[in-house]
Amino acid sequence: MREAVAAAIESHQHVRKLQACTADIRSRPITDKSTELSDQIISKALEAALNAEFAELSVQELQVALKAVGVKGSPVYKLALMKPGQQRPAAVLSEGEQRAIAIASFFADINLSGTTAGMVFDDPVSSLDHVRRWHVVARMVKEAAKRQVIILTHDLYFLVLLQQEAKQAQVPCLVQSLQRTADGYGVPESTIPFAGAPTTKRIGMLKNAKDDAARLLKQGNHQASARMVRYIYFDLRDTWERAVEEVLFNGVVNRFAEAVHTNQLSDVEVSDDDYRTVAAAMTRCSKFAHDGAPIANVPTPSPHELGKDIEILEKWRVEVDARKKVVRAKRKT
């Protein structure tokens, strides 16, 4: 009997000791303290970083606050949009605004982490309007000044904007495109697609295409060679138009730019010879780059003749670029 009483007393004492420890092992105080510290140290910094990123991406009308909620002993944060009403963000934000918020959130998070690892973006500007796209371009180039930024895009206009912004910010920009070649699909090439290439690079592409047409002719494939030559004249005509914009008018008006660069008029001088050269070249290109009447039976020039027409453009480009230096020097005196 005595042993049973002693065992019961010992058991009750053990239970009282365990009950005394209960308050010290509850997870709620840990959650509360973790939430308090995170709110002071982490969330305020992230909140400020997000709002700063929104301003850079031209969505400064949006402001956010991070709200902490304890879930099973761990603080979980949710992004609260500071707007009147209780509507979900998806119900009040446009698709473009949601995309801008996603980009801003990524930049804020990655920069607070302190890492300088590279970034990869896949078509980051889909659903963005023209104005906000410029802000995204500027933000990505700014980030590229301190880390490697790789951007995959099908948007040629966006690519050209990136090149322009990178050049202005003096940030190196390497462009590669995936092409379909004899080696297969998705072959990387260190060049921009023809439609976005400047005049100098286009001339090089035209010469390469002319050489391909000449090889087809040498192999006896006359029809394929003639078809290629006609397609090249379409590109040659487009290149003359781009050359007027970039070379003759020195990029004063650029179809991809957000403004007219009037200061670049200092190098511009248009002569009668320029008019005659451009007019004659465009007329000749149009002669072969249109579907003429069958009865006219306009013969397709040979690759050799095409090469001469490309050389006319190249010679004219070199002459105009040389003249710009003279014009600039003359106007500065």
pTM equals 0.68
228 and 209 Cβ atoms separated by less than 8 Å? yes
Residue 254 corresponds to which tokens in the numbers above? 């650029």
Query: What is the structure's pLDDT at 112?
Result: 82
pLDDT along the chain (333 residues), means of 10: 72 75 64 60 72 81 67 61 64 78 86 86 82 87 94 87 89 86 78 86 95 95 94 96 95 80 91 96 89 64 96 97 91 80
207 and 232 Cβ atoms separated by less than 8 Å? no
Closest CA to 112 of 59, 48, 58: 48
Query: What is the structure's pLDDT at 45?
Result: 77
For the beta carbon of residue 166, count every other beta carbon within 10 angstroms: 20
Query: What is the structure's pLDDT at 182?
Result: 73
Query: What is the structure's pLDDT at 234?
Result: 95
Query: What is the structure's pLDDT at 161?
Result: 87
Query: What is the structure's pLDDT at 85?
Result: 58
Distance from the Cα of residue 136 to its chain's centroid: 8
Query: What is the structure's pLDDT at 19?
Result: 73
Query: What is the structure's pLDDT at 324?
Result: 93
Distance CA(119)–CA(100), nearest Å, equals 17
Query: What is the structure's pLDDT at 172?
Result: 93
Domain map (residue ranges) of the chain: 25-90, 194-333
Name the average pLDDT for the chain. 83
Query: What is the structure's pLDDT at 208?
Result: 94
Burial of 79 (0-12, 13-18, 19+ CB in 10 A): middle
Query: What is the structure's pLDDT at 7?
Result: 73
